[in-house]
Structure 1
């Protein structure tokens, strides 16, 4: 079996990297839509419909980012190169996105465990329920999960905007490497 097209190359991201990217983009769009609906129209039927999957999708995204990170590290020497000042800015931006994609759900999982409530995404018992609460575990997420989530949304929108600038203004192939 050939690996052509599946692995990253200096010219283009492979099928696996692109699948991770676009699947996660769609799931994050759903997460962001639920959060925006909640802050703009409050607790409504539509908000509960879109936001009702927040915990499960957040966990799914956390697992996906871990697998995506492992895949990215395995392909690091084959990936397209980011050079020059713009390349360093892109590397920083991608690093910030990855950091937020790990920190935000980690805070939520810490809060979930501290709450003593069970957590069973897709029926899988990840955390059993307990009678006691551990307040110090809940505080970091209570303080930062919400704000870091919106920070991630802003950084992702900047990422999309820069992809459009590359395509429409600078007319280079940056966007084509991930599509």
Structure 2
């Protein structure tokens, strides 16, 4: 029987360091973003909400920037990547990428349509404006930003669940792909 805990045999068995770093950095920022959203929805106007909510939009902007970097890097590395596990995994990843782009874009449209300034990390991202608000942009954000965000959380939980399921079945290759080479002590 094959040892499922052996290290990958070739670089093609795992993602490169840049891909892995972007993946785990995005996972951390997603965790933070969902914590801010949960505090806002579960304890609106609480001290916890007031502490965390101001960081939700900057986290979303950071995720969009990281996504653009990650997508660009993936495009450059498309011939040096491990093959997909199966079609369902490919579909799930495609849906995650689509939502990772749509959700912050819809949030930015809502922000722009409201006419309010948006600053993050000490930079003005959008100037506010006086005058009529752009109602369709506000409505798009109101109707879809949160709902798509929670739908993406379901996909993320499914993504994590699939990795756990593979590991429980003795197939650790899926997790090792994103961990890289594991050094034995």
Cα distance in structure 2, aligned partners of 1:123 and 1:38: 23
Alignment of 1:165-176 (within 5 A): 165-176=165-176
Counterpart contact for 1:62–1:105, Cα < 8 Å: yes
Q: Which residue of 2 aligns with 1:68?
A: 70
Counterpart contact for 1:30–1:50, Cα < 8 Å: no
1:120 aligns with 2:119: yes
* TM-score for the superposition, normalised by structure 2: 0.87
| RMSD (Å) for aligned C-alpha atoms | 1.5
Q: Which residue of 2 aligns with 1:162?
A: 162
Cα distance in structure 2, aligned partners of 1:157 and 1:121: 28
Q: Which has the larger radius of gyration?
A: 2
Q: Which 4+ residue blocks in structure 1 deviate beyond 4 angstroms? A: none
Query: What SS does structure 2 have at the residue aligned with 1:126?
Result: strand
Query: What SS does structure 2 have at the residue aligned with 1:81?
Result: coil
User: Unmatched 5+ residue regions in structure 2?
Assistant: 1-10, 180-185
Cα distance in structure 1, aligned partners of 2:100 and 2:75: 16
Query: What SS does structure 1 have at the residue aligned with 2:126?
Result: coil
Q: Which residue of 1 aligns with 2:106?
A: 107
* TM-score for the superposition, normalised by structure 1: 0.89
- How far apart are 1:10 and its partner, in Å? 2.3
Cα distance in structure 2, aligned partners of 1:156 and 1:142: 22
> Of the two structures, which has the highest relative contact order with CA contacts closer than 8 Å and spacing of 6 or more?
2
1:98 aligns with 2:97: yes
Cα distance in structure 2, aligned partners of 1:12 and 1:95: 19
Report the count of equivalent residues.
169
- How far apart are 1:33 and its partner, in Å? 1.4
Cα distance in structure 2, aligned partners of 1:66 and 1:37: 27
User: Unmatched 5+ residue regions in structure 1?
Assistant: 1-8
Alpha-carbon distance change, 169 to 48 in structure 1, aligned in 2, over 3 angstroms = farther
